[in-house]
């Protein structure tokens, strides 16, 4: 079993230590370091090469959003960022997801939910708890009035099937659920997802889902 290397970035020592004890007790997971702010997180990522960073949003010196953006910006970046937040509709979570975070986790999540989140993100699945993430994306798509940086491609670059897959991603469906819905193999769905990300110049499924809402491909319920 490959060990998942985790870095914990939070300005509260008690939080860092608690998460470290909890995760180190799990087989196949090792906390390789702790960071006290965004700058420290960036430095520790370069030094320790973790697979997953548990990133608090509100930290001194440099916050979690900008740290996430810098960590995930390189095209060859393989580290996944899992945002820690106090509220499920924290106004900063939306920006963190756009910055490249693979998902988010509430600080009051159970130990089992935390462990599962780390494993899911490490495996490359960007959307956590689809029913909750979908609600957050929809909420902040409605609230986000500021101009957004365009992606490298447009919805028009996608094939009809890729557009359909993107729509289903935005609705919170997993690869398996999409495969079942379209009556195709899950590997086929994974191929479509990879092509969608390349064509749109996006990093992960979460950014793809947000892009679908921002471009109007998918409309939040009631809008």
Domain of 168 in residue numbering reads as 155-214
Cα–Cα dist 157/4, whole Å: 36
Q: Write out pLDDT tens, residues 65-106.
A: 999 999 988 665 689 999 887 765 556 777 777 788 888 887
Answer whether residue 222 is part of any domain: no
pLDDT at 147: 46
Which residue, of 124, 143, 168, is where some domain finishes? 124
For residue 23, the 8-state DSSP code is: H
Which residues does residue 85 pair with via DSSP β-bridges, in sequence order? 106
pLDDT at 219: 72
Closest CA to 155 of 202, 204, 211, 203: 211
**For residue 133, pLDDT beyond 70:** no
Both 163 and 73 in one domain: the answer is no
Task: Please give the C-alpha separations between residue 164 and each of 101, 116, 175, 201, 220, in angstroms, as whole numbers.
Answer: 24, 28, 13, 18, 16
Both 117 and 182 in one domain: the answer is no
Both 117 and 161 in one domain: the answer is no
Highest mean pLDDT among 31-40, 79-88, 125-134: 31-40
- The CATH number of residue 184's host domain is 1.10.10.10
Total domains in the fold of the chain? 2
Both 182 and 74 in one domain: the answer is no
Task: Please give the C-alpha separations between residue 92 and each of 99, 128, 217, in angstroms, as whole numbers.
Answer: 10, 17, 23
pLDDT band at residue 152 under the 50/70/90 scheme: low
- The CATH number of residue 67's host domain is 3.40.50.2300
Answer whether residue 84 is part of any domain: yes
Task: Please give the C-alpha separations between residue 39 and each of 9, 21, 30, 103, 178, in angstroms, as whole numbers.
Answer: 10, 23, 22, 21, 38
Both 104 and 161 in one domain: the answer is no
Answer whether residue 17 is part of any domain: yes
Both 78 and 172 in one domain: the answer is no
pTM for this model (two decimals): 0.71
């Amino acid at each position: 079993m490959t060990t998942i290397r985790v870095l914990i970035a939070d300005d509260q020592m008690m939080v860092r230590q608690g998460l470290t004890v909890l995760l180190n007790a799990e087989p196949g997971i090792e906390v390789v370091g702790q960071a006290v702010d965004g700058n420290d997180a960036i430095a520790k990522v370069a030094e320790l090469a973790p697979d997953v960073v548990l990133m608090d949003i509100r930290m001194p010196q440099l916050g979690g959003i900008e740290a996430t953006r810098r960590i995930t910006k390189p095209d060859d970046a393989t580290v996944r960022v899992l945002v820690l937040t106090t509220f499920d509709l924290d106004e900063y979570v939306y920006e963190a997801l756009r910055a490249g975070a693979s998902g988010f986790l509430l600080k009051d999540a159970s130990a089992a939910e935390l462990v599962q989140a780390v494993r899911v993100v490490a495996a490359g699945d960007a959307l956590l708890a689809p029913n909750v993430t979908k609600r957050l994306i929809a909420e902040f798509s409605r609230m986000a009035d500021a101009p957004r940086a365009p992606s490298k491609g447009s919805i028009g670059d996608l094939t009809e099937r890729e557009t359909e897959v993107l729509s289903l991603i935005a609705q919170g469906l997993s690869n398996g659920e999409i495969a079942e819905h379209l009556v195709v193999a899950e590997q086929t769905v994974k191929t479509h997802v990879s092509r969608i990300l390349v064509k749109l110049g996006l990093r992960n499924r979460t950014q793809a889902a947000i892009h679908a809402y921002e471009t109007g491909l998918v409309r939040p319920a009631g809008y």
